[in-house]
Amino acid sequence: MAETVPALFEQELLGVKELLWGAEIKQDIFQRWSQGFYFSSSEKSALEQAKGGPCAIIAPVQAFIVKNLLLEYKGFHFRDRVNASQGSTTCSSKARPLQVTSEVQSRILVRALCEILSQVSNRHFCVVHIDESGAKREGDRNKNLSDSQDINAVQFHEDLRVIMFVTLGQVTKYYLDHIAALQGKFGVLLFLYSVILSRGLQRVKSECFDLQEPLIDETYGYGSQALINLMISGRATMYVWDHFQEIAGLTLMGIEKQSQVGFITIMEYHRLCTVGSFYKNPIHPVWVLASDTHLTVLFSDERQLVSLETKSEQARRIFKRFDPEENNFISSDKLRDVLQALNLVNELEYVNIMKKKLDSECLGIILLSAFMDEFFPKEESSTPDLFTLFHYNGLAQSHVNGQIQYHIGSAILLESDIKSVCESNAMLTVLQTKWPNIEVNWCDGATPSLN
């Protein structure tokens, strides 16, 4: 590794600054984003978020932390292992003993950050840090830059420097050696800048496609969908559907492939977007959940929740693509399109015969149930009917007792195609975009907050 000459990245950093914040940075929003990666004292594997805004970074990082812990410790008992790791370990579990909590936290944090970096680049990695020696030389500052509580955006950007690495192992060692910088006041921002530079400024801009607004909202300070996608999937696309869609002659890129962790959003319930299968069915049973204003994390230790789709599950998903109103029926004229999408026989003569059979009363519609009975009579499902869900929210004030904790719920998938609608229950509403027939009983009877 070699530290780059600051001038080489001066324009890049200026471009990143403008891409994120726009022409002018509001100090109050900058301050909200100025926080480090630190873990809750009440839930030692859960990152804590101080104020609204940086959940676009913190929630995806937490999702990767949880994903790795579930893999390493074979389930949710990682919670007890991490929480109990402060002292000596007497647990009879076959899992190897943990070190003291701070070492465990550093390890799981750095592993998650490096995994996110590995998704955005396979050539080189840019680590952005603060040149504290340069800050001290200015003479007007009596405190260390990373400890100051009132550093403004101008001062912050003046002292940014970049180190180039060619292997992820080098990045891991650097972060572990400089863990205080990640935990310090600007840890989240430094990592965000590192992600964008590692991806490449021009590449991020091209993936955003005609982005008119900065990645961080100038009014409310929320991260954009492009920023969320960059953190989760490694690409800064603005859309959440699979592959691409042709709209008004434009090719709009979505999610390229099945992601390590997923994403579901209440915006789909409001029909403001369509989340594709790659996000709804990630490789691991971990999802970033989006409300109107905040990001949280849902996860499970039930691996079958993300097993490969059966043919009948694929058929239901594709049928619903042609049923955007979720009426559980399609226009008879759409039958050929559905059959074609499923690679089933779709010659016109055959389609006309099936139309008459499935729409015997000539109503002009074909019911989902009739379609499934005809083409997939022995319906199988890869998803269990009963499973446990866990929910994380990094804002302490969103918890009843003001302390961050994982909330545990017992989920059941009902047999009916008719889902209950309860707009006052935002959690159930967003979960039903993934599992339409789900009901969840949360421990202590308190539904966790999405906000």
pLDDT tens-digit series, residues 62-80: 999 999 999 999 889 888 8
Pick the closest to residue 236 from 212, 258, 261, 211 (CA basis): 211
Q: pLDDT by residue (tens digit) across 231-252?
A: 999 999 999 998 888 788 888 8
* Residue 271 belongs to some domain of the structure: no
Query: Phi-psi category of 135—alpha, beta or left, where left has phi over 0 and alpha has psi -120 to 50?
Result: alpha
Q: pLDDT by residue (tens digit) across 382-402?
A: 788 999 999 999 999 999 889
* Residue 265 belongs to some domain of the structure: no
Query: CB within 8 A of 84, min separation 6: which ones?
Result: 91
The answer to whether 124 is a known catalytic residue is no
Q: Which residue among 55, 114, 208, 273 is the active-site one?
A: 55
Q: Which residue among 284, 294, 399, 407 is the active-site one?
A: 294
Instruction: Give yes or no for residue 144 having a pLDDT over 60.
Output: no
CA distances from 55 to 17, 30, 31 (A): 19, 14, 14
Q: For the whole model, what pTM was predicted?
A: 0.85
Q: Verify that 32 and 171 share a domain, yes or no.
A: yes
Q: pLDDT by residue (tens digit) across 84-126?
A: 765 433 334 444 444 568 899 999 999 999 999 999 998 899 9
Asked if 53 contacts 33 with a C-beta cutoff of 8 angstroms, the reply is: yes
Can you name the residues that pair with 2 across neighbouring β-strands? 164
* Residue 286 belongs to some domain of the structure: no
Domain limits for position 386: 381-443
DSSP string of 245-269?
Answer: EEETTEEEE-B-S--SSEEEEHHHH
Domain edge (last residue) among 375, 402, 427: 375
* Residue 287 belongs to some domain of the structure: no
Q: Verify that 14 and 96 share a domain, yes or no.
A: yes
Q: Give me the CATH number covering residue 318.
A: 1.10.238.10
Q: pLDDT by residue (tens digit) across 304-318?
A: 998 777 788 788 878
Summarize the chain as % helix, strand, coil (round to 5).
45, 15, 40
Query: In this predicted structure, what is the pLDDT of residue 316?
Result: 84
The answer to whether 362 is a known catalytic residue is no
Domain edge (last residue) among 345, 375, 405: 375
Euclidean distance between CA atoms 68 and 284, whole angstroms: 10
Query: CB within 8 A of 346, min separation 6: which ones?
Result: 336, 339, 340
* Residue 16 belongs to some domain of the structure: yes
Instruction: Give yes or no for residue 422 having a pLDDT over 80.
Output: no
Q: What is the mean pLDDT of the chain?
A: 88
Helix (H, G, I), strand (E, B) or coil at 365: strand
Pick the closest to residue 39 from 144, 110, 126, 99 (CA basis): 110
Helix (H) or strand (E) holding 344: none
Query: CB within 8 A of 184, min separation 6: which ones?
Result: 36, 146, 147
One-letter amino acid for residue 70 of the chain: L
Instruction: Give yes or no for residue 300 having a pLDDT over 90.
Output: yes
Q: Verify that 396 and 368 share a domain, yes or no.
A: no
Query: In this predicted structure, what is the pLDDT of residue 326?
Result: 73
Q: Which residue has the tokens 């990695």?
A: 125
